[in-house]
Structures are given as structure tokens and as C-alpha cells.
Amino acid sequence: MKRMVVIGGGIGGISAVYELRDRLGKNHEILLVSDSDQFEFTPSNPWVAVKWRKPEAITIDLAPVMKKHGVAFKHDAVSRVVPEQNRVELASGETLDYDYLVIATGPRLAFNEIEGLGPEGHTVSVCKTAHALESSKDFEALCADPGPVVIGAAQGASCYGPAYEYAFILETELRKRKIRDRVPMTFVTPEPYIGHLGLDGVGDTKGLLESELRNRHVKWLTNTRIDRVEAGRMHVTTVNEDGSDKASQALEFKHSMILPAFTGVDAVMGIDQLVNPRGFVIVDEFQRNPTWPNVYGVGVCVAIPPVGPTPLPVGVPKTGYMIESMVTATVENIALAVEGREPAHRATWNAFCLADFGDRGVAFIALPQIPPRNTNWASSGKWVHLAKVAFEKYYLRKVRKGTTEPYYEKVALKLMGAAKLRAEA
Ligand SMILES: Cc1cc2nc3c(=O)[nH]c(=O)nc-3n(C[C@H](O)[C@H](O)[C@H](O)COP(=O)(O)OP(=O)(O)OC[C@H]3O[C@@H](n4cnc5c(N)ncnc54)[C@H](O)[C@@H]3O)c2cc1C
């Protein structure tokens, strides 16, 4: 009997334990360790921030669900991975030995890299459900006393979709409350152009997102870095093509949500050969770490180089479609390794995203994620909002039921087609 330890109870970790259980059966021990006792459906966090969802509607208690589906669960934080000893150390002081380790810890949110950024500073966040709940209080304060809003992403960020989503969702809610006319909005991003998304655009995301920002009277600043934030004021600098400073200014705000840059988590940070200098797990084409091949990485914690040079650092997003594909490759390769065979499965690393704008949205598919691509498709409409609502429901059901269907790839694509037809009917 082998022991597979999976760290992290998010989209990557949950998919991994279910697929491992299905693929390897009861002859092996599958253990999930997560520092949170809940699964949270991160894509719905922006809805929590404007009170369209309560946190309990998008979170699931892990202990009973794991028990029901035959996965051992430990609610504890991994404080250190010790790959040379096939061991992880836990915050409680306990240690766990493993035969195979899957790291699915997601990111550390690097608010600390910019003075005054983040929930402990002066901007709010939707990266965690708890952050989004806090953010909703700041949003209510804005509604009570309307004023300027600044939304966007910090230099080095690798997750842009949710920044655009939050801007449009907030804008929709402000219109519903009939106070949009009292809220000037600015979108700030290190992307070289609107709709780059860390992917050098997909289809016409540039045109689609620029047009949406224009239609909704949201001003934007691209190639822009955030220098520091103080209460109600953000100091930003727009740079030239060569990265040199072009113009600095201070943006006043009453409410600001900025997606931070990510790093790897402390449990792996600085482990030579396991992670890169930013703490992201180094994996080969089979999702294995080249130095310790019984250690695999899936999801946001994995190191992926940027698609190309940009004046400011712009990271590549790791979205659900890609994460599920990394998980399937990992599980198939672990199954081969258990049989003493060589790995053969590669993740497809495609990007698929439904970006909700509150009343409509933009969907895009990039196959493969890095251009040039075989499929480079983006489309917009009310059907995307409907598809995203349905997708949330199906994904939460998947986690509760313990199914291993690759939802992002199969269900989502079907859903998109159906929703599109419905909207066009
Ligand atoms: C606001 C937001 C919206 C997004 N929307 C979409 C979307 O619509 N579509 C899409 O495809 N992608 C979306 N993404 C991108 C991506 O799909 C999500 O970030 C997804 O949650 C990543 O899954 P993950 O498993 O890699 O990491 P996470 O979901 O972050 O899960 C990591 C887990 O590991 C745990 N953990 C961390 N450190 C430790 C430790 N030391 N010990 C134990 N446990 C630990 C964490 O508590 C967490 O439970 C979004 C991202 C964000 C931030």
C-alpha cells in the first residue's frame, strides 16, 4: 500500500484526491491536508463582495465530504515540505511520510510587495472568500457615501480575469442601486493592453474588454505599476515600452480592489530545485518535479514562464480547465509510477474562462494557452452570465458528490453551447 498526500483543499487538491481515489481504489491511502476546513469556490468570490452570494452558498465543509468519499482528511497547515526525506511537517508539530506528494497549495498573496496594498492596508481583495466578505462591508460604505473607485491588478499579477469581473460586477450593482453617476471608476493594470490577460490576448479580448470598459464609462491605465497606497489614495506610474517611467499620478478612491502578485507558499519557499525563486513548484512535462519525481505540482502553485516580454511583469494565469488537466496527468502518472512504469501523460495546458460582468460577460478559449494557437476564440453576451451561474451550481455539486468528471473541459463547453443557444432563441 502506498500513501499519497495531497496538500491543499482547493480546485486542484479536491480534483486530485477524487481522481486518485477513483484511479487507485482502496488499496492505497489517500490523504488530503488543508489549512482550511472548507472548500471555497474561488470564482464566485466577486459575487460575495457585492452581496450576490453569501459565503455559505459557495463553501463546503471538507471533513464530512471527504469521509463520505473515502479520503482521509487532516485540517492542518503544512509548515515545510522535506522532499529528500519524503516527509511533510505540519503546523501542529506532527509529521507525515508519503510515497507520492501532490502540491496543490495555490498562491501566497503577495500584498506585502507594495506598501499599503491589501486587506491589512488600504485596498480590499476577492482572492479568498473571507476577503470578499470583508470587501462587501467596504462596498456598503461606498454605497452609503459614493466616490471614486480604483480596480485592477498589481505588477507581477497572474490573474486578471477576476479584476475585470469585479469592475463590471460592481458597476452593474452600482447601476442597480442608481448611484453609478456618483462613482467615477478607473481600471489600473500592468498589462500592455486591455484584454492581454497574461495570455497576449485570446481572440479579440482586447476589443471586447475595451469596448465594455468604454460602454460603462470606466477609464483605464495600462502599463501601469502601483508604487504605494495610502488611505484613499493610490500612487501609480505608467511606463514606456522600454519600462522607463512615463508619468506618475495619485488616484483618489473610496473603494479599491487590486489583485496582487502571487508567490509560492512558505511551506516550499526557498527549497532549492523544488521551487523557482518566486516559490512556484518546478514541474516537468509530466507534472513531476525533476529532482524529486515522486513530488507533483498542480494548479496555481506551479511555475509557468510568461508568454513573452512586457514592459512590466505580467504573469500567466492558471485557470480551472488547465488545473483539471494537470490533475488528470498527475494522477495517471502516479498510477503508472505505482506499477513501476514510466510517466506518459501530459497536461493540455489550455485556457478556458467565463468572465462574468454581472449582467453579461465574455467567454474565451485558448488552445493551447501559449500563442500561436489552434483555437483562439472569444465571445460575449448575456449567455455568459447565465453559463457562469449554472457552472457554479454544477461545480459545487461535483465537490459534494465526489465525481471526477473534468467539468471545465466537458461540462463547461457543453454548457456554453447550450446557454448560447438559449440566449439566441
Ligand atoms: C477571485 C478569483 C476568481 C477566479 N475565477 C476563475 C474562473 O472564473 N475560472 C477559472 O478557470 N479560474 C478562475 N480563477 C483561477 C483559479 O481557477 C483559482 O485561483 C483556483 O482556485 C486555483 O485552484 P488551486 O487549487 O490551484 O488553488 P486554491 O484554490 O488557492 O487552493 C489552494 C488550497 O491550499 C490550501 N493551502 C495553502 N497553503 C497550504 C499549506 N501550507 N498547508 C495546507 N494547505 C494549504 C489553501 O487554504 C487552499 O485551500 C480565479 C482566481 C481568483 C483568485
Please answer whether residues 280 and 302 qualify as being in contact, where contact means their C-beta atoms are separated by less than 8 angstroms. yes
Q: Which residues are CB-contacts of 181 (< 8 A; sequence separation ≥ 6)?
A: none
| Ligand 1 touching residue 7 (CB < 6 A) | yes
pLDDT digits (tens, 9 = 90+) for 49-74: 999 999 999 999 999 999 999 999 99
Q: State phi, psi for 175 to the nearest 5 degrees.
A: -65, -40
Domains annotated for the chain, with CATH where assigned, are 3-108+263-348 (3.50.50.100), 111-262 (3.50.50.60)
Catalytic residues: 159, 353
Residue 144 Cα to ligand 1 middle (Å): 32
pLDDT digits (tens, 9 = 90+) for 70-105: 999 999 999 999 999 999 999 999 999 999 999 999
| Ligand 1 touching residue 173 (CB < 6 A) | no
Residue 108 Cα to ligand 1 middle (Å): 10
Q: What is the pLDDT of residue 423?
A: 55
The whole-angstrom separation of Cα 260 and Cα 263 is 10
Alpha-helical regions (H) of 216-319: none
The whole-angstrom separation of Cα 305 and Cα 406 is 25
Ligand 1 nearest atom to the CA of residue 301, by list position: 26
Q: Give the distance, in angstroms, between the CA of residue 121 and the centroid of all CA atoms in the same chain.
A: 22
Instruction: Print burial letters for 139-166: b (CB count within 10 Å at least 16), e (below 16).
Output: beebbeebebbbbbbbbbbbbbbbbbbb
The whole-angstrom separation of Cα 352 and Cα 369 is 9
Sequence-separated contacts (24+) of 92-100 with Cβ below 8 Å: 96/5, 96/31, 96/33, 97/3, 98/3, 98/4, 98/5, 98/294, 99/2, 99/3, 99/4, 99/294, 100/2, 100/3, 100/4, 100/5, 100/294, 100/295, 100/296, 100/334, 100/337, 100/338
Report, as an integer, the average pLDDT of 310-315.
Answer: 97
The whole-angstrom separation of Cα 340 and Cα 2 is 12
The whole-angstrom separation of Cα 212 and Cα 146 is 22
Cell numbers for 400, please give them: 459534494
Q: What is the pLDDT of residue 257?
A: 98
Cell numbers for 110, please give them: 503577495
Residue 58 Cα to ligand 1 middle (Å): 13
pLDDT at 406 over 80: no
Which of 31, 42, 95, 269 for mutating ligand 1's site (highest number of atoms within 8 Å of CB)?
Answer: 42
Q: Give the distance, in angstroms, between the CA of residue 96 and the centroid of all CA atoms in the same chain.
A: 28
pTM over 0.85? The answer is yes
Residue 240 Cα to ligand 1 middle (Å): 33
Question: Which residue from 364, 408, 17 is spatially nearest to 195, judged by alpha carbons?
Answer: 364
Give, for 325, the enclosing helix (H) or strand (E): helix 320-338
Residue 300 Cα to ligand 1 middle (Å): 7
Residues in the chain: 425
pLDDT digits (tens, 9 = 90+) for 341-354: 999 999 988 888 88
Name the residue at shortest CA distance from atom 44 of ligand 1. Answer: 34
Tell me how far apart the terminal alpha carbons of the chain are, to the nearest angstrom.
Answer: 55
The whole-angstrom separation of Cα 142 and Cα 117 is 18
Q: What is the pLDDT of residue 145?
A: 98
Q: State phi, psi for 65 to the nearest 5 degrees.
A: -70, -40
Name the residue at shortest CA distance from atom 3 of ligand 1. Answer: 43
Please answer whether residues 300 and 106 qualify as being in contact, where contact means their C-beta atoms are separated by less than 8 angstroms. yes
pLDDT at 191 over 70: yes
pLDDT at 339 over 60: yes
Q: State phi, psi for 399 to the nearest 5 degrees.
A: -65, -40
Pairing mode, strands 149-153 and 185-188: parallel
CA distances from 64 to 69, 155, 227, 399 (A): 9, 40, 45, 12
| Ligand 1 touching residue 15 (CB < 6 A) | no
pLDDT digits (tens, 9 = 90+) for 141-155: 999 999 999 999 999
The whole-angstrom separation of Cα 212 and Cα 366 is 21
| Amino acid at position 274, single letter | L
Name the residue at shortest CA distance from atom 27 of ligand 1. Answer: 106
| Ligand 1 touching residue 77 (CB < 6 A) | yes
